[in-house]
Amino acid sequence: MRSTNIIKTLLASGLALAAIHSARPASAFDLDTGNAALEVVVQTAAPVILSTVSPSDASLILRVTAVTTTAWFDAIAPYGPTTVGVYSRLGRRPPGESVTNRNKNIALLYASYRTLNSLIPKEADVWTDMLLSVGLDPNDTSTDITTAVGIGNVAGAAVVSAREHDGMNQLGDEGGCLYNCQPYADYLGYSPVNTAYVVKDASRWQPNITTTGNGIFLVQQFVTPQWSVTTPFSYADPSIFFSPPPFMSRWKGNGFGKGVGFADYKEQADQVLQVSAALTDAQKMTAEFFNDKIRSLGASTAFAAATHGLTLDEFVQLDFLVNLAAFDGGIATWQEKLRYDAVRPFTAIRVLYGDTPVQAWGGPGKGTVTDLPASQWKSYLNVADHPEYPSGSACFCAAHAEASRRFLGSDNLGWVVSIPQGSSLVEPGITPAQDITLSFATWTQFEEICGMSRNWGGVHFLASISSGRDLCSPIGDLAYEFVKAHIAGTTP
């Protein structure tokens, strides 16, 4: 039963895990009593992920967290009574080595060091400092698996070896690339039917034009379509998963005439416009909260660990579980995104209404306006770099919630997040007008609100949210069974 100051600080502030960075100096960390996964690795990696991997996509962030938490799980497996690693079987250490957290912490720190150097090699100095900050030697490359250092190094190397060519193209060398290869580049050859300029098929995805405001404009490309063919942890073949077609996204008319499906197509686009026109501060801030996966998904696990008083082992198991659940959910979701290549709301609204004035949110600080040319409508959240259906976030939250329910044995969550006045990233200084709180009494509420927030943010139609949840809730169960079997040591 542990509840560290750092977690209390986090919960009280309602801020991202990144806030840990300044909450407690790493030098104060105690290898015998601390939780190095949360207090050292997350503390070090969260700011790096936020600044280096982000601004990015959940696909890329989830892969970093899934691979790193796998390394934690495998590194401490030899210290449990029955646990076996996912990518290594390093025997079992005598119980006397687990009287304190020291050996487990050392093993997971070295395993993290190996995986983070593989995942984000540009930040090698940060990973070196991470070990130095707790008095460990980054140059210790021991592979003696009777020692914590050796276990960490071997377990980490095994995870790296298994995942570097898992299909995500982390090294850029998939698809026959020899020169000028880029990490995570698409090697499936996805090409959108619509361009940012011309919509040929109003049912299909249109890449959006983006800018940082500096005068350079760029057009989206589907991020990591190869996630759909990446090796899952908890099931063999994603083709067993299927979402029903996004019927309401089908522009069934003859060309752009108003055909059979027109009423449905218009109805779901109008629903997004109606939500946009009536956006509340709570909806805006909820949309922003769930748009930040570390602040929502990541912090929810830290909160649950504190309220349930999880041990180091239990925290590592739960954090690995929820990350692999979301990651494996993402594989199935990307398969369906690729299958349907579905239109985003911004395109549907433009196609339907062109320059006709509509009533909607008019952009940062503008509130609801009635004379907005539909072609100038913008979703409250920036739209992510992939087709619309099904919703990735609805999937991740559903898989995360189901896995958490199963592991913790309860649907209770009881999380209250404080949102200070003016803390919006979209409308800084303006929204929310007053301090507000977001409350999640249960995991079920958490996943439901998470899903809806994508509609409030204007980036998803309703059907995409229920389909994302239906697709990935069962994957949360598979992930739980997978981790449970590894904890029990009953996997082959």
| Structure token pair of residue 471 | 């697709």
Site string for a copy of itself, 167-206 (x = CB under 8 A): ---------xxxxxxxxxxx--x-xx--xxxx--------
Tell whether omega for the bond before 390 is within 30 degrees of 0, i.e. cis.
yes
Residue 420, preceding bond cis, omega within 30 degrees?
no
Q: Does 126 bind a copy of itself (CB under 8 A)?
A: no
Minimum CB–partner distance for residue 129 and a copy of itself (Å): 21
303 binds a copy of itself (CB under 8 A): no
Distance between CA atoms of 428 and 450, rounded to whole angstroms? Answer: 22
- The only residue of 62, 148, 372, 408 in contact with a copy of itself, by rule CB under 8 A: 372
List the end-to-end C-alpha distance of the chain, in Å, as a whole number: 32
CB 311 within 8 A of CB 37: no
Q: Counting contacts by CB under 8 A, is residue 116 touching a copy of itself?
A: no
Quote the least distance from Cβ 240 to a copy of itself, whole Å: 27
Distance in Å, CB of 193 to a copy of itself, minimum: 10
CA distance linking residue 480 with residue 478, whole number of Å = 5
Q: Which is nearer to a copy of itself, 162 or 196 (CB)?
A: 196
C-alpha angle 381-382-387 in degrees, rounded to nearest 5 = 110
Considering the complex, what minimum distance in angstroms separates the CB of residue 50 from a copy of itself? 12
Instruction: Number of residues interacting with a copy of itself: please give it, by CB under 8 A.
Output: 53
The answer to whether 320 touches 65, Cβ cutoff 8 Å, is: no
Query: Comparing C-alpha atoms, which of 438, 335, 450 is closest to residue 398?
Result: 450
Minimum Å distance from CB 238 to a copy of itself? 20
Find tokens 């956006």 and name the residue.
279
CA separation (Å) from 55 to 126, 325, 361? 19, 23, 24
Q: Which stretch binds a copy of itself (CB under 8 A): 71-79, 268-276, 285-293, 376-384?
A: 376-384
State phi, psi for 178 to the nearest 5 degrees.
-110, -40
Residues 214-253 that bind a copy of itself (CB under 8 A): 214-221, 223-224
Which H or E run contains 431? none
Among 14, 298, 329, 362, binds a copy of itself (CB under 8 A): 362
- Residue 212: phi, psi to the nearest 5? -90, 0
Q: Residues 91, 95, 367, 373: which binds a copy of itself (CB under 8 A)?
A: 373
Q: Please select the residue that binds a copy of itself; options are 1, 12, 27, 55, rule is CB under 8 A.
A: 55
Minimum CB separation of residue 40 from a copy of itself in Å reads 24
For the bound state, the minimum distance from the C-beta of residue 283 to a copy of itself, rounded and expressed in Å, comes to: 19
**Which residues lie below 8 Å from residue 394, measured CB to CB, with a gap of 6+?**
447, 450, 451, 454, 460, 464, 465, 466, 467, 468, 469, 472
- The reply on whether position 53 binds a copy of itself by CB under 8 A is yes
382-401 binders of a copy of itself (CB under 8 A): 385
Closest distance of CB 82 from a copy of itself, Å: 37
For residue 425, state whether it binds a copy of itself (rule: CB under 8 A).
Answer: no
434 binds a copy of itself (CB under 8 A): no
For position 125 contacting a copy of itself by CB under 8 A, the verdict is no
To which H or E segment does residue 419 belong? strand 412-419
Q: Which residues bind a copy of itself (CB under 8 A)?
A: 52-57, 59-60, 122, 176-186, 189, 191-192, 195-198, 207, 209-211, 213-221, 223-224, 362-363, 366, 369, 371-373, 376-378, 385
